Each structure stands twice: as structure tokens, then as C-alpha cells.
Structure 1
């Protein structure tokens, strides 16, 4: 996934003649970091529907209840099969399309970090890329797909990832074949993706695989057409920058169309794309990204290519070993703004009022999160406390002159912990506080200790 290129001023109420036909609007839930409890998902799915979502792109990673030889992949907090089935029932009630996402090539850290599967790495030192030459690699992928499909019956699509396949071609087997002129990196990529997609279509003929498009971008038109991937997968084109280049994107889409792809997807971002350790969401940045995607959709050549939908990504980690980005409740106001923008083709006062009513907010700041009014939507208390702590804690440490500050921040952090515990598992709560609170709090504690010692020495004299 890509990170952003910095914020910039923008007009939030750019007008369009009419909302373009975008297809499905999917909210991406990235469960490889801070996975919400099922109870919280039950609360926010109806809110997503109210705001204009048509479905969920559900990236399980280690939260899926893998069984048998794959059981080692499962997080201690993994959802149970009954949890997932309950979500499917709720999704059906809301008329949501559910698209599971399982990585099958790159971003395989959650699999290849385990000793049982470490021998399937493309490069021994790095657990992110699967070795495409080993028969056991394909058997592993098939098993993961089989287990996910067993729970997700009656789905139309499955996303097989395939983005950022780092170090592809750098393993010993790959190097040898490349040196002998038998293959190249692009062929290694297309061959593996074809094998995965072909397996899905052979075993579930009504299900179409989706892949991220970044690995396709540098493959020549002739080679990509020769691979016949257009008959097997639908590319999801992702760009998360506020300054998305519309003309450049249209050229990329025309390239895919010329290679035979007739169905495509877009992917924007409502959070998690402006810094690996970002805590607060810049709504204006993500609104700008969505307005640009609307411009792309408006000029799309409909007679030659069909837009299936757009996934609003909400990355929680940049990869399995990375730190946490913004927590989901912190990004919900941004998600609300972006969904309303896609629904109506504009973000004006009318859409702003709708967002405020839906979130229970009296005010809505587009430029930066408001510390006065977090609203009353499910999880708003997390947004409130995170915004308060991130905004003021470091300032308090830097300007500390009285040790009463420490007690005030202890109370604030306790409130945040209580709010997070309703939504997240204990390890997520501890990780976020350890990353974003404890370093400053430790400094504060040391300062208080030093001041206490200084005061004590004065009393002795």
C-alpha cells in the first residue's frame, strides 16, 4: 500500500453535474492491526450503510479462524466461525456485499514468519514474499482459499491481494531461472497469479478474483495481454494521494482496457495512508483523494470498460510488522465525509449536515480533528480521548512546571483505556498506549520524580 505525499489546501465543495456511476462502495477493514471486536462491528456496520456503503472488503490476515495445518496462522483473538457467520447475516440484512481478502503472494508475513512455513519464503531473510516455485507454496494458498470460501458461501468476488511482492525474483531458484533466460520477474508474477486465480475459478465458478494493480503497472502491454490475466482477474487500481493525477490515471486505465480487461475497481483511502505511525486523520487530505477519483470516474470510457466499484481503504498497519496507524473510530468522520462525497458527487453544506447528524456531531472540522466535539457514534469516545491526548500530552510534557499535570494525564489515559477496551482486545490497547502514550508519559514521570526529589531536598535544608 502507498503512503500519502503531504496535505495541501483544497476546496471541499467542488461541484459536479451529477454523481457518476461508481458501482459498489466498499469499506475496507484491515484486521492485521487493531482488529475490532465482533460486538463493535455489529454496531458500526449499520452506520456504514447509513453513510452510503454497499459492502465490506474484509482483510482478515491472522484474524481468520484457520484450522488444521493452518491453525498456527490464527491470532489468539481470531474471530470464530460463528462470529463470521453472524456478520454475514447482518451484512445480508443491510444488503452488503462482503468480499474477503486473503494475501496469496506478497504481504505474507503473517504466514511466513512461522517456522512451519519459513521454508516457503522467496528470500530466506524476509517473510513477506511466497516462493512461487515450490509446489507446497501453491498447496498452502489453496488451503487458505478453501477455508475462507467454506465460510463465505454465495459471494461474488474474492480479493487475492498480490500487491507489493517485494524481493520477487531474488530467491535462489528464481535467480537461476532468470540467468538461464527461462523467465523474468514479470512472468514469475503473472504465472503465480494465474495459478491462484485459475484454482478459484475451477473450484468456485461463480466467484471472480480481484487483485491489487501495482505489480501490473510496469508490465508491457504485449506481455500482459499474452498472460491472459484479463480472463481471470479484475484489477483494483489504488492511489491514495490527495493530488491524484487524473490524466495519468486515465492513461493507465486505457492501458488495461487495451490489454483486454473489461472490469476494473478503484481503491481510495479514508485513513491509514499519510504515515505509518499517524494517530489523527486529516479529513481534507482524504476528501481531496475522493474528489479526484470522482473526476476519474466522470471521464471513464463507459463503452469499453466497466467500473465494478471503489474500495475505501482504511489501513491499520503498512505491513504485519509495522506500527499502528489511526484507529478505526478516529477515521470514521473521514469515512463518513468520503462516503457522502462518493454518494452525491460533491461535499457541500448539505452533505456536511448529513454527516453531522449521522455522527451526532454539532460541528465538523475538515482540516483537522476537532477536540471540542467528537460526536456520539459508536467509538466516538475513543476519537475524543485520542484527539485530546495526542493534541495536548506532548505539549504538557514539554511545558511541565507543576507535577499536578501527571495526575491529570493518568486520568485521561485511564478514560481512553476504558473506551478502547469496549472495542479492542487487550493486546491492541496495550500496543497503542505503548507506542503513542508511554514514551511521553515516562518522560513526564521522570520529571515528576526529579521535581519530588528536588522539593524533598529543599525541605531537608
Structure 2
């Protein structure tokens, strides 16, 4: 049939032997022809639907819908006419070495004259060549990070590299994350791996909140026995600096000073003798101690530009006729002067001056009418203006807002700094006071909102805080970190749902772009329900050692003489437990499905699975208590202790692959003013405190 289509009626007049050979020959050619047609159509369809799923994404690109002749596995050599050195490289670009101009596929150089902002670069993939022009060494580093993602995608899609032209640069200059080590540390190797992870996302800064995890040499009592030496932090700083990440210290001073003032040696510096929370800002010895800590922290971070001095959430005794606002500003001027003398820019949490001025509430209330906000400012702005000369000009006032950054009151506060020629920078959050894991879609909506607002206001940067108060595993912060990297670099380029798809693709593998593989959002709800499932009253986080949890916090147990009463009393918890288990089942299926395919970052998936397993245990425990209440049979709870021990063992086994889960035996717990779950016990009991107390209560009641 195919032969006739091509040759027509004249073929009938050929000799039989020639006809037979020709038929074989033409059939072979026809098969090859149709295969070629299928490949062309297949590739064309792929090209038209292909997009660059890069993270961070690229804003300025010219995509031709054509492929180059460059195969991913054949990109070996790079040449620089200016003899620039190749940057540190990751993934597929690690195979690239310097070569001559003839053999090299990549032509790269640094050109300060190109019309791009710092850290920017131009990347062109042509039919036979890749051309890179970078504004600076950081831009060159980032160009190869982008190239690696393109090569990886081409490899996964079994195509050559696409022909494309990219102009790329950050929309926010300073894009740091907050590394809070107050309640635990990771294994040392994890921090180096983390630097590489951040570098690949084009994060360019870390503000490390040392607290007692720096082995201070001047004030040896402050550093805990598990703290890291100044020399070790210098090594980490050097490693980070080579990857365009500058580490700067945060050393809390005026308030949040429990890690210092819990030590008997420093009791005399307390603002209130019975509280380890705040320093007396008028005692000169306060500054002798703080400046010693600052000096060690600056030594430990030799490439840092900033000194974050904290200063938030502090309430002071009014002394010598000075108001709390005046005392705050007195302290701030002292530490800002020190920072300037030591070639650091001071950063200060700005909430207390605004609070003392009566301007705090509108920043955190997005429902407040604009007119009402303006009236509050009209009435109270004078409280700030009267002290404007006492606001240090060299400081950056960090306007933190983790849930309501879009509020008119927050915007008005930021504008006030700009109007008064004071430097302002925002701080959003990837983790606040969420137990087990971040919530609110990893807080992506708020991260995005504050990033876009900062770009619009042309502010220098934005900090992503990652608080250790409730101490989820750091792997669970990575989606929020990636979102921060995306929106601080590229602005309003991706929808939140599009970002999530690209995050899955880049972090778990190219097969998981589809929404069917989304499990993190689903798991947030069981984690949220877990927090209060065993508590008699919702607390927002787990029990604190400041109370007697077995009496005041943990739910009652069934009275076997009053069948069904417990189930009625805790009906809402039973419903929540059932709903939680349904969601956990979905999470199990999705994660197991991902693990059954070609995937990466297995450890991150393992951590999510352990979170899911813990929520499942607690939900099942509620349902077993319901069954006990209705049937009166103690066999319903006979195995719960062994089940818990197994869950805990697996949970700890996974977590401690990267984390130090226990504090040293000589560690001194502070007064725990804010009920931090991670501050309840020396060992890892705090993570399971509600379960431990309830199981103990079961033993006492039914044994």
C-alpha cells in the first residue's frame, strides 16, 4: 500500500525481481521517513509547550522554540578571552573545565560595562555556542547555576539545549536568610551543605543568631558546651563567601538576653533582679559585656557587613527620669556607635519605639480602616518625631511583620523611616511559632507579599526569618526558603501554584511537576491539629514546664463507669483525629509514590514522613481512647506505649542524621518567658511532651 502511494501506477510495469528488491528498499525508507516525521512532530510539540522551569525564575528571556546542536552530556570546556577563572559549579556544570577558544563550547567573561545591576549576567545559547557575559564574579557564579538547571532539564527531557537569550539580575540587592541556632545545632557538615543549597538559589546573605552557640572567648560563661568555636565559624564564613554568601551575626542585647543573664555571673546586669530577660541599659557594665560578645561575633564572621543587635520585645524599668522609649534609644545609640567603629552597619528590630509611641497595633491589623490608621498616626506620630534626633542615622530599622506585611499600618511605618531619612528593611518569615512544620503554605503568600512590596518601594533588601522557638527540622524550611529566593530575585514572575510546581520539580525530580504530587500543603493540616489534640485547651504550642501539664494541660481520660461521656466531651477532637488520619493517608500515598519513581532528596521526604507518622500516632491514640470509653476494654490501649516507643525511635533516628537532638547535660535552661517548646527539656522529650504525659497518665489511672 505504502509502495503504491509513493510510486503510482507505473510500478506495475517493472520486472518482478526488481520490483521485490525495490519494495524492500522503499519500505525501509518509508519506515525511516515516518519515524523521522514522528520525531519532528514530537519535538515540535515539546518545544511549543516547554518553558524554563528555573528557580529562581528568569524575567527577561527570548525563547525561540528551537533547539541548539548542543547535547547536555557534551558540554565539557569553557574559554574566557579575559582569562577569568571558572566559578564554583554544581551538578552537570562540574564536568566543565577551561579550554581553548576552538574546542570550548562556552565563551564566558566578566564585563563590568554591561547594562545590568550587580550580580547580573547575560546567557545566550546559540546553535553551537554558549555565551556568558557577567557583570561581576557573583553574576558569573549565578550564570553557571542557571546553566546547570537548563542542562539538567534538557537531560531529563532527552533534548538538546534550547536556543535562548537571558538577561538576569536580582530585583532586591540583599537577600539573606536568618539562621537561628538558639535551641539546637545541626551536625557541622549540614551547614556546609546548606550553604551550597542557598547558593544555588542565589541567596546572598545569612544573619546567624548565635545566642549561646558561639564559643565566646571573652565571656566564656555565655557559650554552651556544645557551641562552635570562633575558628569553625570563620571556616563556614569563608566557605559561604566563596559562594557569594556573606554571613553576619545577630547578638541579642537589650532584651531576649536570657542566654546571658541566666548565668549567676551576670545577675547584677539584669534590669529586673528576678528576670533573666533584659539588661539594665544605664549600667556601663552592660556595654562592657555586650561589646565583648560583639567583638567575638564579628571575628567569627569576617566577611559580614552587618551587626544585628536585636532589640525587640523588651520592657524596661523607667530609670533616672527616662521613659522606656528613651531607654531603648539610649541603648541603640551606644551599640550603633560601637558597630560603626568596628566597620559594621547595625540592624535593629524596630518594634519597641513604635510600640512606645502608640503606633504598633495598626501594623498588625489589616482590617483596620485606612482612616482609623491615619487618625492614630496623626495623634501619635509626635511621640516619634519628638525623639527623631535620637534615632541613629547609621542603623537599619528592620520592620518585621510575618503575617500582615501588606497592612496599611505596616506600609505607613516603613514610609515614615524613608520620609525621615532613616534606612529601613523588611523581615518576613518562613517559620514563626509553628510546631512540627511551617504552615500557611510555608508562609509563601506573606513572603511573596513582602518581597513585592520591598521591590516596589526600592528598599535595599529583605530578611527571611526562620525562628527556632518551636524547632521544626530545617529541611522543612526549604520550600519557604525557595519561595523567598524566587520572589526576592524575580519579583512578580510566578504565581504561588506555579512556584510550588517548580519547587517540586527542582527538589524532588522532573516527574513531579504535576499538582497530583503536592503533599506539603496537605500535611500542614494534620500538623496543625496535632498541636492541640491531647491538650485540654488550645495553647497554640505544646505544654510548658512552667505549669503542671498532667493536671492543667492534658485531656482527661475515660471514666469506665460512665461509658460514652468522654466521647461526648471530646467529640470535636475525635472528629479532628479522623479527618487528620484521612489527610495523612493521602500524604503517605503521595510520598510513597514519589519514592517509587526516579527522585532526589530522599532525606527531605523522610523528614516529612516522620512528621506524618507522629500526627498519625496521636490521632489513632484519640480513637483508641474513644473505643475504650465506649467498650470499657483496656485491651484497646494495651499496645499504645510500645507503638509510641517505635514511632519516637524512628522519628529520632531520621532527625539525628543531621541534627543534634539533645542538649549537653550541663546545659542551663533559662526562664522560658515565651514558652518555647524546644526550651522545655535537655533531651528530645520536648518534641513528644504531650504524648509522654498522657501515656504516663494512662499508666497511673488504669494500672
Asked if TM exceeds 0.5, the reply is: yes
Structure-2 separation of matches of 1:139 and 1:399:
58
Q: Deviations over 1:272-294 (max 9, x none)?
A: x244xx22221426112112213
Change (3 A) 1:142 1:444: closer
Q: Deviations over 1:138-183 (max 9, x none)?
A: 11111111111223223211111111122x134xxx1xx22xxxx2
Which is higher, the Rg of structure 1 or of structure 2? Answer: 2
1:145 aligned to which of 281, 294, 303 = 294
2:518 aligned to which of 355, 364, 367 = 364
SS in 2 for 1:127: coil
Match of 1:265 in 2: 425
Structure-1 separation of matches of 2:650 and 2:417:
50
Change (3 A) 1:255 1:435: same
Match of 2:203 in 1: 53
1:417 aligned to which of 648, 652, 663 = 652
Structure-1 separation of matches of 2:225 and 2:701:
41
Kindly report the root-mean-square deviation, in angstroms, between the aligned alpha carbons of the 2 structures.
3.0
Match of 1:234 in 2: 396
Find runs of 4+ consecutive structure 1 residues off by over 6 angstroms.
17-20, 448-451
Structure-1 separation of matches of 2:653 and 2:419:
54
SS in 2 for 1:125: coil
Say if 2:408 is the partner of 1:254.
Answer: no
Structure-1 separation of matches of 2:174 and 2:684:
36
Change (3 A) 1:376 1:396: farther
Say if 2:503 is the partner of 1:355.
Answer: yes
SS in 1 for 2:313: coil
Match of 2:214 in 1: 64
SS in 1 for 2:212: helix
C-alpha deviation, 1:95, in angstroms: 0.7
Change (3 A) 1:433 1:145: closer
1:443-458 correspondence to structure 2 within 5 Å: 443-444=694-695
2:467 aligned to which of 291, 298, 315 = 315
C-alpha deviation, 1:225, in angstroms: 1.9
Match of 1:91 in 2: 240
Structure-2 separation of matches of 1:396 and 1:57:
41
- Preserved CA contact (<8 Å) 1:280 1:326: yes
- Preserved CA contact (<8 Å) 2:186 2:658: yes
C-alpha deviation, 1:83, in angstroms: 1.9
1:26-425 correspondence to structure 2 within 5 Å: 26-68=176-218, 70-166=219-315, 168-170=316-318, 174=319, 177-178=320-321, 183-202=322-341, 204=342, 206-218=343-355, 219=357, 220-229=383-392, 231-241=393-403, 243-261=404-422, 263-271=423-431, 273-275=432-434, 278-284=435-441, 286-300=443-457, 302=458, 307-317=459-469, 324-345=470-491, 346-348=494-496, 350-360=498-508, 362=512, 363-365=517-519, 367-369=521-523, 370-371=587-588, 372-373=590-591, 376-377=600-601, 380=604, 383-400=607-624, 401=636, 403-404=638-639, 406-425=641-660
SS in 1 for 2:239: helix
Structure-2 separation of matches of 1:39 and 1:239:
32
- Preserved CA contact (<8 Å) 2:215 2:229: yes
C-alpha deviation, 1:63, in angstroms: 0.2
2:685 aligned to which of 418, 434, 456 = 434
Identify which of structures 1 and 2 has the higher relative contact order when contacts are C-alpha pairs closer than 8 Å and 6+ apart.
Answer: 1
Match of 1:22 in 2: 172
Higher deviation after alignment, 155-164 or 43-52? 43-52
Structure-2 separation of matches of 1:186 and 1:438:
39
- Preserved CA contact (<8 Å) 2:442 2:479: no
Q: Deviations over 1:329-348 (max 9, x none)?
A: 22223332333233333344
C-alpha deviation, 1:448, in angstroms: 8.2
- Preserved CA contact (<8 Å) 1:65 1:74: yes
Structure-1 separation of matches of 2:198 and 2:170:
20
